[in-house]
Structure 1
Amino acid sequence: MYDWPEIREATDSLWQAVHQQLRERGVEAPQALDRHADPETLWTAPDLLLSQTCGYPYATMLADKVTLVGTPAHAVTRADPGRYFSVLVARKNEAPRHLADLPGKRFAFNMRHSQSGFAAPVRFLVQAGQASQPAPLETGAHRASIWAVAQGEADWAAIDAVTWELAKRHEPALRHLTVFATTPQTPALPLITSLQHAGRADIIADAFEAAIAGLDQQTRDAVLVTGMRRSRPQDYTPLAAPLPVRQVFPALA
């Protein structure tokens, strides 16, 4: 889910390490990552060995169709292991000082089934008593939301904290933006396998942890993964609560 072109070589190195650890445990795995399949189709494939999804679709659509393996930890965000949050960003010279300044400003989001880009900011604004935002702009990706705000197509966006760290390193448009708020932490992006491989979930988790531990420091720093939390399906249950979109973005309800 964080497979930016700038870190693709490091991501491939991570997969090779996972592949080797799986083979040592008697589990055959694909030699290379599949970057061409539609993610939503891949997530429910009966022979899926390992993939990563977003917490919101896992909680609302996938929990009874796949097996949870665990949740990667990203120490660089300073969130608790296996958790993350969203940063709310705007242009530096137009950043709101308070959430009450957001009405009238256009929101850019990656997609409606994103926890960090859509669900988290919706719940955050409702809890803060903010509503009636203008019709938002759907961009298709966090990086595209960063571009939209930087270029003035939108006024603010909610960006996954791990993506924000990647953007600090690789996205020039970031120089125009600043963080003006952060959402509460929620479970981060889970690793999943198919129900067919449910009996191997612990073996897959062991292999992933061993692969991370065995990476050289440069590769580990590039992919921003420092370990894994053995999360449970119930950790994600709160994300399945009804999303009060109508209260924040009436145009999308």
Structure 2
Amino acid sequence: MIVSLPMYDRPETAAANDALWQGLRAALGQGPETLNRDGAIWDHWLSPDLLLSQTCGYPYRARLHGHVTLVGSPVLALPDCPPGLYYSVFVVRADDPRERPEDFATACLAYNDALSQSGWAAPQNWAAARGFAFDNPVPTGAHRASAIAVAEGRADIAALDALSWQMMQAFDPFPNRLRVLGRTDPTPALPYITALGRDAGHLRAALNDAITALPAPLRTILGLAGITHIPEQDYLALPNPAPPPVPRPSK
């Protein structure tokens, strides 16, 4: 069986994720001894051996829906956010005088991945609702890398998963060079998934028990308050923005 929790796994949160899995494994009475941290993430998500993983809302609606079973949505410890939802924060350099995300329409937007809800779809959908687009994007491969690119002046703005941003503020030195300029509209949080044919209700109940039993300091590290059920239709209803342009090869 495969179990992975890749979306908020970093050195400072690894022990808390390990503890969450051990609690879930005890509740389920089955599963591997340790989390799978090796191999390609898409191989985990699409494997018939998948017991549990966490994906992003955009990959779920664009490629995974119909190939996996939706288990549930995390309730995150985010301010001003309904249970089961999350949002992105727009971050810019602390000394940048521009006052609105709209002022960065032609500036360089750092984004983690073209299939990221929080890094690509959320900011572009937010912009489209206001009559513009971020039209000068650069890929970075990770939210943390996007934040660093802005802090170092290689990009001007980034939309970061709000929980990832909280973790950066807790564990990294560079956020003091950045400031939050705004946030995107809330959308369903990063869903837990399992392979087709598995009992989603049983997994969701066991995961709820594991989260509840997790010591409060570990729940705080993970920014995790519980789990809820967001219908798959809510994930599928979100629009898919145009993909970013293919980067031109350097001469």
Q: Is the partner of 2:237 in helix, strand or coil?
A: helix
Aligned partners of 1:95, 1:173: CA distance in 2, in Å? 19
Taking only the aligned residue pairs, the percentage that are identical comes to 41
Aligned partners of 1:142, 1:238: CA distance in 2, in Å? 24
Offset, 1:251: 6.2
Q: Is the partner of 1:221 in helix, strand or coil?
A: helix
Instruction: State the TM-score, normalized to the length of structure 2.
Output: 0.92
Matched residue, 2:25? 19
CA-atom RMSD, angstroms? 1.5
The C-alpha deviation readout for 1:98-124, integer Å capped at 9, x for no partner, is 233113311100000000000010111
Matched residue, 2:201? 202
Matched residue, 1:83? 85
Q: Is the partner of 1:57 in helix, strand or coil?
A: helix
Cα distance change, pair 132–180 in 1 and its aligned pair in 2 (3 A): closer
Matched residue, 1:243? 241
Structure 2 counterpart of 1:168, which letter? Q
Structure 2: stretches of 5+ with no match in the other structure = 1-6
Structure 1 counterpart of 2:201, which letter? D
Aligned partners of 1:74, 1:168: CA distance in 2, in Å? 16
Aligned partners of 1:139, 1:77: CA distance in 2, in Å? 27
Structure 1 counterpart of 2:135, which letter? Q
Matched residue, 2:221? 222
Aligned partners of 1:82, 1:139: CA distance in 2, in Å? 27
The answer to whether the 8 A contact 1:70-1:191 is kept is: yes
The answer to whether the 8 A contact 1:90-1:179 is kept is: yes
Instruction: State the TM-score, normalized to the length of structure 1.
Output: 0.91
Offset, 1:95: 4.9
Matched residue, 1:65? 67
Aligned partners of 2:133, 2:223: CA distance in 1, in Å? 34
Matched residue, 1:184? 185
Matched residue, 1:156? 157
Which structure has more helix as a fraction of its residues? 1
Offset, 1:37: 1.9
Pairwise mapping of residues 17-166 of structure 1 onto structure 2 (< 5 A)?
Answer: 17-23=23-29, 28-131=30-133, 133-134=135-136, 136-166=137-167
The answer to whether the 8 A contact 2:124-2:134 is kept is: no
Aligned partners of 1:85, 1:54: CA distance in 2, in Å? 12
50-59 or 222-231, which deviates more:
222-231
The answer to whether the 8 A contact 1:77-1:84 is kept is: no
Structure 1: stretches of 5+ with no match in the other structure = none
